[in-house]
Amino acid sequence: MCSVAQSLSTPVLPTVWSMKCKHHISTREVYKWKARLTIDGSKQQYGLHYDQTYSPVVTWAATCFFLIQSVLHNWYRHQLDFVLAYTQAPVECELYMEIPKGVTVTSEPYKCKRCKYAQRLIKNLYGQKQAGRIWYQYLTKGLQELGFTKSTVDECVFY
């Protein structure tokens, strides 16, 4: 889980806590506090931490086409949202992040006052420049294993 950062070939990326509070629409009362640990993607270096960032987005024409077809044919429509989608896909290359603020390393083998610690990522985190691309590849592979075929017209349409 932890490794000594000084012996790493890739630089350790800093972490950022993203804090958000959710409000009730009518009363504007806070009902939930959310915290998300992310990587500071602005510190990533091309060629060292990532090579490609392209991730396709469904076209508005395809969205309209399927909505119209579903109305004409009386198809059942349902929106799907992947909760914490980016964190489901495994990383494509070795990445290390700083130990988040507020977390202390207490494991004896890793105790060293003069060493800096890092965590090796096994899944993507929000904030990475390549996270969208990796998630798209992961989703595409899963859909194709289930028997879906990618459209030649729109990369985000599977049938």
Q: In what order do the strands lie in the sheet with 2-4?
A: 2-4, 117-120, 96-98
Q: Residues 90-112: pLDDT tens digits?
A: 888 888 888 888 887 776 665 55
Residue 1 has a pLDDT of: 32
Domain residues of the chain, as ranges? 1-45+83-159
Neighbours of 109 (CB within 10 A): 7
Structure-model confidence comparison of residues 147 and 1, the more confident one = 147
Residue 60 has a pLDDT of: 93
β-pair partners for 4: 117
Residue 5 has a pLDDT of: 44
Q: Are 2 and 107 in contact (CB under 8 A)?
A: yes
* Res. 2: pLDDT tops 50: no
Question: Which among 37, 32, 52, 45 has a CA at the least distance from the CA of 119?
Answer: 37
Beta strands in the chain (DSSP E): 2-4, 15-23, 30-39, 96-98, 117-120
Reduced to 3 states (helix: H, G, I; strand: E, B; else coil), residue 158 is: strand
Residue 88 has a pLDDT of: 87
Q: What is the DSSP letter of 150?
A: B
Question: Which among 3, 91, 7 has a CA at the least distance from the CA of 49?
Answer: 91
Spatial distance between the Cα atoms of 147 and 152, rounded to a whole number of angstroms? 16
Neighbours of 53 (CB within 10 A): 15
Q: Tell me the backbone φ, ψ of residue 22, rounded to 5 degrees.
A: -100, 135
Spatial distance between the Cα atoms of 39 and 149, rounded to a whole number of angstroms? 33
Residue type for position 92 = E
